A and B are shown apart, each in its own frame.
Chain A
Amino acid sequence: MEKNLIMFNSLTQVMQSRDLLKKHRIDARMVRTPSRLRQKSCGYSLLVTHRFDEALNIINNNGIGVLGTATVDFR
């Protein structure tokens, strides 16, 4: 399974990134970060199932700090 989760430091960053990706027509769903990954994250992440690398690039290029990425099964 490929990576599909982008983690952030703050909920505001999660929402900012979601809106940013929406402008680029990339679907991103706000989800709670699984507990095992939540050590440092704000508690929320973005689930991006398509065009993940592109999404990550867009977020990074807009100066929003990404805390990390992961693979989770949200089915």
Chain B
Amino acid sequence: MIYLDNGATTFPKPRSVTQAVNNALLKKGANPGRSGHKMSMKAAEVMYNCRKNAAELFDADSPEKVIFTLNCTTALNTVIKGILHKGDHAVISSLEHNAVLRPLEALKSNGVTYSVADYEPYDDEKTIDSFRRAINEKTRLVICTHASNVFGYKLPVERIAALCRIYGIMFCLDAAQTAGVVPISLKDSCIDFLCTAGHKGLYGPMGTGLLIINCDTTPESLIQGGTGSMSSQRTQPELLPDKYESGTPNLSGIAGLNEGIKFVKNKGIANIERYEMRLAQRLYDKLSRMKDVILYTNRPDSDTSVPVISFNVKDLDSEYVAAKLSDYNIAVRAGLHCAPLAHEFMGTDETGTVRAVVSVFISEEDINYFAATLYKIIKFKKQYKKVEINN
């Protein structure tokens, strides 16, 4: 299979990741941080190593600032619901995922409001100005995706974060699509919270995510319970990471994530970015030469985009194109990609798009096969439509 659904989750995972998951279950399957026996200690060591590697990857202050979550959505919910209270206002971009939009919608009933700042394609000044205009005296938090999961547009997040710092507003970065693909450093950064998935560009297993806290303010914990620490205390410990990690953690997932992070570190994020961008550009070039293919962005480059390509085929439903590609053993994702705001913004909310996202495991030959297959689908599209009507 040629897997181009890496925006949803990367596949395959590096062998070291699957081995680590297996090994954790077979040899380290005790509850970490709970007991004093050797296996529990080994399990705790796995957690700590992953925290340490994640902290290093993002230049975080210290491993304790790295919180394990189930996914990026849980990390974002922790920040959004743990920071915003009645009367507070938030600002988001017009490219946000439902992981940001829906928690904010849910908070409306608690008296929280939010505004959407329009992203202006390829114009950072205008985008920053949109954020400036959306901020008001009640704004407490700005949440912004690092890059659109649908169209690949990269936002000027460091500058938006710096703007927030000037106004005394907290800034939360949704790095679901960029962690492991684009270098991110929290050192000397105005980013207060970094949320990301572990199972995308970091090549960890599903059920892993990270929240990295880069400021002194900590969100309220959404879940309270056993942490293995300060057990005689009735209230949730305030210390990081325990404050947010109640209950038995996903040890095998974290073991895999640790190896995924090491895999990314060994390859080098700049190298990954260069390689994937070259593939995305090749794909874009091939698609742009095909009659009836509708592309929505300029040719991607590392300054303005991540390697995500969204397209449609004239007169064909996006889901239909994805299904046809699947017949040829090509995996892509069609529809709204859980980002209706981004589709509304681009005018594709009725049709959705077909999205192809590469990974380090994709080759130029895979891109060639994809393009040739799509060409075939387009060539025979009238025939397909007839068959469909006859059925």
Given contacts A30-B41, A32-B36, contact A13 B64 (CB under 8 A): yes
One of A10, A31, A40, A41 near B242 (C-beta < 8 A): A10
User: What band does the interface of chain B fall in when counting residues whose beta carbon is under 8 Å from A?
Assistant: 20 to 34
Structural contact, B232 and A11, CB atoms closer than 8 A: no
Q: Are B230 and A42 in contact (CB under 8 A)?
A: yes
- Return the contact of A15 from the options B35, B36, B44, B231 (Cβ within 8 A): B44
Complex CA distance for A24 and B113, rounded to whole angstroms: 51
Is the beta-carbon distance between B233 and A16 smaller than 8 angstroms?
no
Is the CB–CB distance between A15 and B230 below 8 Å? Answer: no
Q: Out of A16, A38, A39, A41, which one reaches B64, CB within 8 Å?
A: A16
CB-CB contacts of A1-21 with B at 8 A, as 1s and 0s? Answer: 000000001111101100100
The 0/1 profile, CB within 8 Å of B marked 1, for residues 34-73 of chain A is 0000111111100000000000000000000000000000
Beta-carbon contact of A12 and B64 below 8 Å: yes
Contact yes or no, B230 A41, CB < 8 A: yes
Chain A contact-residue range equals: 10 to 19
B33 touching A43, Cβ below 8 Å: yes
A13 proximity list for chain B (CB < 8 A): 64, 239
Query: Is A11 a contact partner of B44 (Cβ separation < 8 A)?
Result: yes
CB-CB under 8 A from B229, the residues of chain A are 9-11, 41-43
- Selected from A10, A19, A38, the residue in CB contact (under 8 A) with B232 is A38
Known: A15-B44, A30-B41. A10 touches B231 (CB 8 A): no
Q: Across the interface, do B45 and A10 meet the contact criterion of CB distance under 8 Å?
A: no
With contacts A38-B232, A41-B230 known, is A10 near B237, CB below 8 A? yes
Is there contact, CB below 8 Å, between A42 and B242? yes
- Assess whether A10 is in contact with B239, with CB atoms less than 8 Å apart: yes
Q: A63: nearest residue on chain B (CB-CB)?
A: B62
Tell me which of A10, A19, A31 has the highest count of chain B C-beta atoms within 10 A of its own C-beta: A10
What is the CA–CA distance of A16 and B41 in the complex, to the nearest angstrom? 14
Q: In whole angstroms, what is the CA distance A42 to B36 when docked?
A: 12
Complexed CA–CA distance, A57 and B104 (Å): 46
Question: Quick one: which of B258-279 are within 8 Å of A by CB?
Answer: none
Q: For B45, give the chain A residue with the smallest CB separation.
A: A15
Roughly how many angstroms separate A16 CA and B237 CA in the complex, as a whole number? 18
Contact partners of B36 in chain A: CB under 8 A: 31-32, 44
Evaluate whether A12 and B228 lie within 8 angstroms (CB atoms) in the complex, with A32-B36, A42-B242, A43-B33 already known.
no
Give Cα distance in the complex from A43 to B37, angstroms.
Answer: 13
Partner among B35, B48, B232, B241 whose Cβ is within 8 Å of the Cβ of A40: B232
Name which residue of chain A comes closest to B241, CB basis.
A12
B51 part of interface (Cβ distance < 8 Å): yes
Q: How many Å lie between the Cα of A66 and that of B34 in the bound state?
A: 20
Residue of A nearest to B49 (CB): A15
A74 to chain B, nearest CB (A): 11
What 1/0 flags go to B320-336 for Cβ under 8 Å of A?
00000000000000000
Extra 6 A-B pairs, beta carbons < 8 Å, given A15-B48, A16-B63, A42-B33: A9-B230, A10-B240, A12-B242, A40-B230, A42-B228, A42-B230
Q: Can you offer 29 A-B residue contacts whose CB atoms are under 8 A?
A: A9-B229, A9-B230, A9-B237, A10-B239, A10-B241, A10-B242, A11-B33, A11-B228, A12-B51, A12-B63, A13-B239, A15-B45, A15-B48, A15-B63, A16-B62, A16-B63, A16-B64, A32-B36, A39-B232, A40-B230, A40-B232, A40-B233, A41-B229, A41-B230, A42-B230, A42-B242, A43-B229, A43-B231, A44-B33
